[in-house]
């Protein structure tokens, strides 16, 4: 009986740890990227000062990469046609004190990572992402998604979106 209880406690602990691990995954930055920030990368206040904070959309902090200038549309700034934008939020969960990159949107054809760019074919993207151990899936709309743990890359042809999903289970009411 005691042995069964120990096994059950061990299994519950293992399940708990593995589910926490899903939201604590930090994807290492590829050596071949020319992105200034990488998904799940912790961001210092000094680095934030080099980026342009765009008007808040749905309460999120979206920053334009330091090499890009926003369009001046009257009193509001808007994204240029070619850019890299970063969403900076708490990661791995909303109650975390770690400010990290949780979303990257790329429309700049010069950006590269894992040997691919916006100009890469879906076959090249699929091969590269499989090499990096990502699960590949094609959507009903014909786009390619590559995922690993809680990180997803979406390839749309005219843009690439990289998302680190944030765990909202531990939201602290203010």
* Grouped pLDDT means (10 residues each) for the chain, 174 residues: 52 43 74 96 91 77 90 77 92 77 96 96 96 95 93 95 80 39
pTM of the model: 0.80
Close Cβ partners of 37 (under 8 Å, ≥ 6 residues apart): 43, 47, 65, 86, 101, 104
How do strand 84-90 and strand 76-78 relate by DSSP bridges? unpaired
In angstroms, the CA 102 to CA 89 distance is 6
Question: What's the confidence (pLDDT) of residue 75?
Answer: 61
Q: Is 111 exposed, middle or buried (0-12, 13-18, 19+ CB in 10 A)?
A: buried
Q: For 90, phi and psi rounded to 5 degrees?
A: -75, 140
């Amino acid at each position: 009986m005691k042995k069964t209880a120990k096994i059950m406690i061990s299994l519950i602990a293992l399940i708990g740890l593995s589910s926490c691990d899903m939201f604590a995954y930090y994807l290492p930055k590829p050596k071949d990227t020319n992105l200034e920030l990488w998904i799940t990368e912790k961001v210092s206040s000094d680095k934030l000062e080099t980026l342009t904070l765009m008007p808040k959309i749905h309460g999120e902090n979206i920053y334009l990469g330091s090499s890009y200038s926003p369009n001046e549309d009257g009193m509001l700034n808007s994204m240029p046609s070619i850019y890299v934008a970063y969403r900076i939020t708490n990661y791995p969960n909303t109650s975390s004190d770690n400010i990290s990159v949780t979303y990257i949107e790329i429309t700049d054809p010069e950006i590269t990572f894992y040997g691919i760019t916006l100009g890469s074919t879906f076959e090249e993207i699929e091969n590269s992402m499989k090499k990096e151990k990502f699960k590949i899936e094609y959507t009903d709309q014909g786009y390619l998604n590559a995922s690993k743990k809680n990180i997803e890359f979406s390839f749309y042809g005219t843009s690439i979106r990289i998302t680190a999903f944030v765990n909202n289970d531990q939201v602290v009411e203010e």
